[in-house]
Structure 1
Amino acid sequence: MKRSRPQLLITALLFAAATQASAQTLGLESNIGQPAKATPATRTVFVKMDDISYGQKSIDVKPGETVRFVLKNEGALMHEFNIGKAVSQLDHQRKMAALVKDGTLTPTGKAKSIVWHERSGLGDSNPPGIPEVVEAIHDDPNAILVEPGTTKEFVWTFSDSANLNFACTLPGHYQAGMVGEFVMR
């Protein structure tokens, strides 16, 4: 079967659009950078989180620079440090709202539940199995949750993408102003 040039072009464009859409579904945006590991030369930026604000409204970064963020949550609520463009952060807000609505996330942390594993070969037992505490998963590569009273590190290598923000996408936090911008220099 032979395809004409316009059909091949249309197929290539559809594949590219699907690839980008699936990357954004996975929490990735094209060309915003990537998670990294800190080295001795990595610059460190301290970010204070409060209810409901960041300690700074802008952070200067260079294209290709790796930055180690030390995130200290001094507030009473859990917060997120999400790197992305405004459009993807608005989409991520819907996902975070769904996680809060279904009880996976609480205002102060990740929900924990108990899963019972069956005991084998022990006959009748009380309790009926072995309990395991399971914590909710939030594994977006461009974001980290920081519970109240904790400090976490997040290392990121920036691309040359403009219009990048850092934001908390938990329900109501972004709308209350918990968003800042990365200034490319």
Structure 2
Amino acid sequence: MKKYLILAVMALLAAGNPALADSGHDHGEALVYGEPGDPSKPARMVLIAMRETNEGMAFVPNQIKIKAGEQVKFVIRNTGELDHELVFADLESNLKHGIEMAKNPDMEHDDANAARVAPKKVGEIVWKFTTAGEFDFSCLIPGHRESGMFGTIIVQ
């Protein structure tokens, strides 16, 4: 925890931007849900919309099927009126990181598996899914996941 606090403070001082936070992953370790993709290589494009609804908040679609070993370019459009983010990981990691986000609501991610997108803007993530299984994607801005902003990636 101390390591991440130091990194966040250094990022704030160096960039003069909102605190950048690590998602709790050691960037040297292999992630069960895959690895950053190579933008210079072909990728299947997956469009995801983020928005507020009368019932809460949502990703559309909220379930995505991917083949193991497939590289995907997520094009993430925020059609809402609030900032949103997409962070994918295993469910346990996202829930744990959501608790940290609640303690530090201005935290932003600086990870290949995450993108924060301002209203009416578009973000991208290129990722290669290396392992079969079910994985989570969530908006970890406090209150957003709890309002329904999460989904499942099924890697077969």
Equivalent residue of 2:32, what SS? coil
Partners of 1:94 and 1:159 lie apart in 2 by 27
1:1-185 aligned at under 5 Å gives the runs 25-26=24-25, 30-39=31-40, 41-51=42-52, 52-100=57-105, 104=106, 138-185=109-156
Q: CA deviation at 1:40?
A: 5.5
Partners of 2:26 and 2:148 lie apart in 1 by 22
Amino acid at match of 2:35: Q
Q: Name the TM-score, length of structure 2 as normaliser.
A: 0.74
How many residue pairs were aligned? 129
For each residue in 1:86-119, what CA deviation from the matched residue of structure 2 results, as whole angstroms up to 9, or x when unmatched? 111111112222221xxx35xxxxxxxxxxxxxx
Q: CA deviation at 1:24?
A: 7.3
Amino acid at match of 2:81: A
For each residue in 1:24-44, what CA deviation from the matched residue of structure 2 results, as whole angstroms up to 9, or x when unmatched? 733667311111123463110
Partners of 2:110 and 2:120 lie apart in 1 by 21
RMSD over aligned CA atoms reads 2.1
Amino acid at match of 2:142: P
Deviating beyond 2 angstroms after TM superposition, the runs of 4 or more aligned structure 1 residues are: 23-30, 37-41
For structure 2, list consecutive stretches of 5 or more residues without a partner in the other structure.
1-21
Amino acid at match of 1:90: L
Partners of 2:151 and 2:23 lie apart in 1 by 21
Q: CA deviation at 1:71?
A: 0.4
Percent identity among equivalent residues? 32
Inter-CA distance 41–24: structure 2 relative to 1 (3 Å threshold): closer
Structure with the greater alpha carbon radius of gyration = 1
Amino acid at match of 2:111: D
Partners of 2:122 and 2:77 lie apart in 1 by 4
Q: CA deviation at 1:167?
A: 1.0
Partners of 1:164 and 1:74 lie apart in 2 by 24
Task: Tell me, yes or no, if the aligned pair for 2:24 and 2:97 is still in contact at 8 Å.
Answer: no
Task: Tell me, yes or no, if the aligned pair for 2:23 and 2:97 is still in contact at 8 Å.
Answer: no
